[in-house]
Amino acid sequence: MLDPNARALLDLMTERGVPPTHTLAPVEARRLYRERRTFTQPDAMPMAEVHDLQAPGPHGAVGMRLYRPDVAAAAPAAPALVYYHGGGWTIGDLDTHDVLCRELAQRSGCVVVAVDYRLGPEHRFPAALDDCLAATRWVFANAEPLRVDPARVALGGDSGGGNLAAVTAIVLRDAQGPQARLQLLIYPATDMRAVAPSHTANAQGYMLTADSIAYFRGHYIDDARHYDDWRASPLLHADLSRLPPALVLTAGFDPLRDEGRQYADRLSQAGVPTQYVCFERQIHGFITMGRVIAEANTAVALCAQVLARSLG
């Protein structure tokens, strides 16, 4: 059964004629995504400190936003979460995920640094990944002035951002540089081939559709041969061992459900301590919708609890 809160939201969107994302030009899709957030998202939590930052990157400066919760206001070195927003590498920004980042920070006690990576189709694969890597390395390198403990850093993201978090963790492992302590992967995209059974079972009717997945993938990936590149499809990497412990969340009525579970299983098989939780009655994107979907608040609380426990 679909969660009644999610069902009511989907019905309201149909009643009001909200256009499917795949029917919109990217600029218009971004605008509507940003505007609709006030209807579904909770009120923004106050923070001890919020300010924007920039890191140098291979394609130019990368925007970021730092959130310091009250409990870390005076801490000389707090744990931190580097967060990559969702939106299919095409929509979404610091503002669409501002409320979620505030909640994760305040509820976990971690500083959150959100990354405003470049989007397609203006900037194709692997530009988003390049930005995320540059920003993450900058956070590690500037831990002292940021008052962040480099030994207690997590990587996280939802949907396309979960994809970027997973790939960033692999790249950092292989570079043998600073390592994250946790991966927080919220309904992550892990296989660009879109062949898992849930892509068929949940192809239509649950907000993220097969049409919208093709739309997002088409704006990010300019050559189908990249589907097999592990930097786009981390599920296809031959070696997922020696990665940070992970919490993987999925939603039962999400086309990405099975590839998220498959990634969790691959991590476990490779010896990575991994927790997997599926919100069986939920839809893709639900975690930002705490004003209208009660289970979103439960999911945020779970993520914050695991962050706090894992980072100390």
pLDDT, average across residues 88-94 = 98
Per-residue pLDDT tens for 121-147? Answer: 999 999 999 999 999 999 999 999 999
Q: What confidence tens digit (pLDDT) does each residue in 226-271 have?
A: 999 999 999 999 999 999 999 999 999 999 999 999 999 999 999 9
Peptide bond into 255 cis (omega under 30): no
Q: What was the pLDDT predicted at 177?
A: 86
284 catalytically annotated: yes
Considering the candidates 159, 198, 212, 310, report the single residue annotated as catalytic.
159
**Kind and range of the H or E element at 116?**
strand 111-116
Question: What are 177-234's pLDDT values in tens digits?
Answer: 899 999 999 999 999 999 999 999 999 999 999 999 999 999 999 999 999 999 999 9
Q: What is the layout of strands, in order, in the sheet containing 274-279?
A: 49-55, 62-68, 111-116, 78-84, 148-158, 182-186, 246-251, 274-279
The question of whether 254 is a catalytic residue gets the answer: yes
pLDDT tens by residue, 73-85: 999 999 999 999 9
Catalytic residue selected from 198, 237, 284, 310: 284
Domains of the chain are 4-311 (3.40.50.1820)
> From the candidates 116, 130, 254, 258, which is the catalytic residue?
254
Q: Does the pLDDT value for residue 277 go beyond 90?
A: yes
What token pair was written down for 47?
């923070």
Output the 3-class SS for 70-92: HHHCCCCCEEEEEEECCCCCCCC
Task: Determine the Cα–Cα distance for residues 142 and 66; give it in Å rounded to an integer.
Answer: 13
Gap between the Cα atoms of 163 and 185, Å rounded:
8
Whether 85 is catalytic is no
